[in-house]
């Protein structure tokens, strides 16, 4: 299949970026989106052109490093998948595909499609962990946890921190990511001792990083490859208000 590409090229954070046009005539429908970019880069290298920089690691929808905006949508047109799991058969032959990096103040462009997402790391460092001593690994049924809470905690824990929620949100809010990381710990007994400090510190760090506020638009959940529900944000806000009053 033939593909017309418009890709954001930016040499470094201080230079002006622009879209560059490329064309490929031999794209296999069975290629993943990242394999297509690999194929493009091989062609560019043969032509003496600097290849397109983009992030990737596992290429299995686990690590969250591959995210880009494809035709205006975070991770592209397929719902519930990361960019690495998007296949070229989801595009029409001869289609024009526009590829650009995450657009958020807190995610500055490093080069081309690569952005610096260390803001998410600092939010986790502010409290997204359990530091209290919980002893060795107990038997699965030693600490009773309601199944509803266990299922919800697991659902929130599937967040891969890719950044799609902030990139898709018109406010560039990181509320869905932060809420998922807070709520999955708050639902477990081991997360209770630090529950109040965790939510206050992580929400405050999120604000310090320059992310916008949540206004319940819902683009974050729609773009999330793990489809984390908006309910996580409601839980975080409730916990934040209670902790702040204490």
pLDDT in tens, the chain (246 residues): 999 999 999 999 999 999 999 999 999 999 999 999 999 999 999 999 999 999 999 999 999 999 999 999 999 999 999 999 999 999 999 999 999 999 999 999 999 999 999 999 999 999 999 987 767 777 767 788 899 999 999 999 999 999 999 999 999 999 999 999 999 999 998 899 999 999 999 999 999 999 999 999 999 999 999 999 999 999 999 999 999 998
Chain-centre distance of CA 134, in angstroms? 30
Residue indicated by tokens 């506020």? 213
| 162 and 82 within one domain | no
| 13 and 92 within one domain | yes
* H-helix or E-strand spanning residue 74: strand 73-74
Task: Measure the CA–CA gap between 31 and 224, rounded to whole angstroms.
Answer: 22
pLDDT at 126: 98
Domain annotation covers residue 226? yes
Domain annotation covers residue 35? yes
Range of the domain at 219: 117-245
Domain annotation covers residue 33? yes
Question: Whose CA is closest to 219, among 148, 165, 162?
Answer: 165
Q: Give the count of domains, the chain.
A: 2
pLDDT at 43: 97
Task: Measure the CA–CA gap between 194 and 202, rounded to whole angstroms.
Answer: 12
| 156 and 238 within one domain | yes
pLDDT at 133: 75
- Beta-bridge partners for 9: 18
| 127 and 67 within one domain | no
* Domain limit, last residue, from 66, 100, 134: 100
Task: Measure the CA–CA gap between 167 and 65, rounded to whole angstroms.
Answer: 13
pLDDT at 143: 81
pLDDT at 139: 74
Domain annotation covers residue 107? no
| 148 and 62 within one domain | no
Q: What is the CATH number of the domain that holds 73?
A: 3.10.20.30
pLDDT at 134: 67
Instruction: Tell me if 12 sits within 8 A of 5, measured CB to CB.
Output: no
Q: Is 146 exposed, middle or buried (0-12, 13-18, 19+ CB in 10 A)?
A: exposed
């Amino acid at each position: 299949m033939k593909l017309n590409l418009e890709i954001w090229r930016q040499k470094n954070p201080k230079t002006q970026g622009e879209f560059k046009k490329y064309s490929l005539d031999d794209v296999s429908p069975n290629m993943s989106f990242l394999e297509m970019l690999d194929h493009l880069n091989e062609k560019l290298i043969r032509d003496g052109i600097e290849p397109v920089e983009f992030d990737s690691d596992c290429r299995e929808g686990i690590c969250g490093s591959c995210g880009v905006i494809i035709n205006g949508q975070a991770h592209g047109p397929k719902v519930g998948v990361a960019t690495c799991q998007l296949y070229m058969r989801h595009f029409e032959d001869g289609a024009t595909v526009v590829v650009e990096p995450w657009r958020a103040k807190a995610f500055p462009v490093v080069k081309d499609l690569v952005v610096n997402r260390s803001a998410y790391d600092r939010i986790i460092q502010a409290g997204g962990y359990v530091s209290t001593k919980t002893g060795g690994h107990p038997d699965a049924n030693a600490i009773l946890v309601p199944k509803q809470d266990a299922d919800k905690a697991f659902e929130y824990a599937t967040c891969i921190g890719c950044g799609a929620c902030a990139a898709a949100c018109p406010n560039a809010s990181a509320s869905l990511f932060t809420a998922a990381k807070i709520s999955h710990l708050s639902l477990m007994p081991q997360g209770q001792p630090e529950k109040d400090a965790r939510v206050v510190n992580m929400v405050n760090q999120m604000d310090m990083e320059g992310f916008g506020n949540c206004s319940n638009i819902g683009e974050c959940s729609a773009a999330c490859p793990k489809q984390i529900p908006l309910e996580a944000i409601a839980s975080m806000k409730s916990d934040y208000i209670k902790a702040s009053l204490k």
